Amino acid sequence: MIHFHNGDVTATLARKAGVPGRHVPFRESLITGPVRRDLALLDWVEERARTLSEEHGENLLRVRNELLEQEKTIDAARAEEEIVLWFEHDLYCLVHLLYLIKRFSNCRLTLIWCPSPLGLLAPEEYFKLFGSRTAVTPVMQRVTDAVWQAYTGADPTAFNRFLVQDIPDFPFVIDGLRLHASRFPSTTTGLGEPQRQLMQLIDEGAADFSTLFARFNPNPPRFGFGDGEVLRHLRRLAWCAVPMITMTEVPGDEHKAALAVTPAGRNVLQGSVDYVEVNGPDGWLGGAQLTREKLWRWDGAKIS
């Protein structure tokens, strides 16, 4: 039996709790694009390694080797008697869960799909969750196939058919897809929803990173961003052509970074200036590349 966890913390806690089997952390950030389907394995690893290295300031060779080793572990795990996936109800976890369900098709696959943060549970709770794990059903496999196709596709309008329905057999999927859709530029400000929330919190007084991170996306987490992903968003807001925020980092301790919204940023928050108009679209979301010639926007008012 092998377990895949969305990160090192839950893998360590489940191991310490004595949950039988081998516990492996899944280390990726598939909410950071490009995430394109139909690539050969080495091309997939190379594109993902370059993305993670550039976006998070990591050593390219080390990231590439770690991703290759992880893919080998996933391939080898297909021979296990049972594969258990441990994930939470947030966007970050959802995308990784979809990827692994796709990779483990036709395997004996079970799931612990938890609405509360796994890292905050007491050790004895891990045994209870392990005992309540459920099989990944054919319905969940079909939903995964369709949603992964949409997430990794070049045209994100494929999501529209999912956003107005319910899938009782796979809770949180629709909520998660709406969160992903909200990352596209808003029709009112040009900001993605995570950027808007971060800027709004800074403008309301969260003037340092630690305070901001504690207030962003409070429990239960929804976007599920860790500190590295939040820092990535903040740096983009600070380093764009027309800065939305100022960010004064402390060498060696980015968690003490001082933050403030610029006058231009406040104009964007108020809707009098469009972020995309002054700074241009911002990279990839899943398989969709946003450019001035090909730009999709999110209108949250159309989703009840």
* DSSP run (H or E) holding 180: helix 173-181
pLDDT surpassing 60 at residue 304: no
pLDDT surpassing 80 at residue 165: no
Give the tokens for residue 253. 């301790």
Q: How large is the average pLDDT for residues 157-184?
A: 88
What does the mean pLDDT of the chain come to? Answer: 93
Give the tokens for residue 6. 């969305």
* DSSP run (H or E) holding 246: strand 245-250
53 touches 60 (CB < 8 A)? yes
Coil, strand, or helix at residue 23? strand
* DSSP run (H or E) holding 113: strand 109-114
pLDDT surpassing 70 at residue 38: yes
* Tens of pLDDT, residues 227-242: 999 999 999 999 999 9
Give the tokens for residue 68. 């290759």
Q: How large is the average pLDDT for residues 140-161?
A: 93
37 touches 44 (CB < 8 A)? no
Which pLDDT band, with edges at 50, 70 and 90, does 252 fall under? confident
State the pLDDT at residue 219: 67
- pTM of full prediction above 0.85: yes
Question: What value, to the nearest 5°, has the Cα angle with vertex 122 and ends 119 and 125?
Answer: 100
Give the domains, in start order, of the chain with CATH numbers.
Answer: 2-171 (3.40.1360.10), 186-280 (1.10.10.10)
Which pLDDT band, with edges at 50, 70 and 90, does 196 fall under? very high
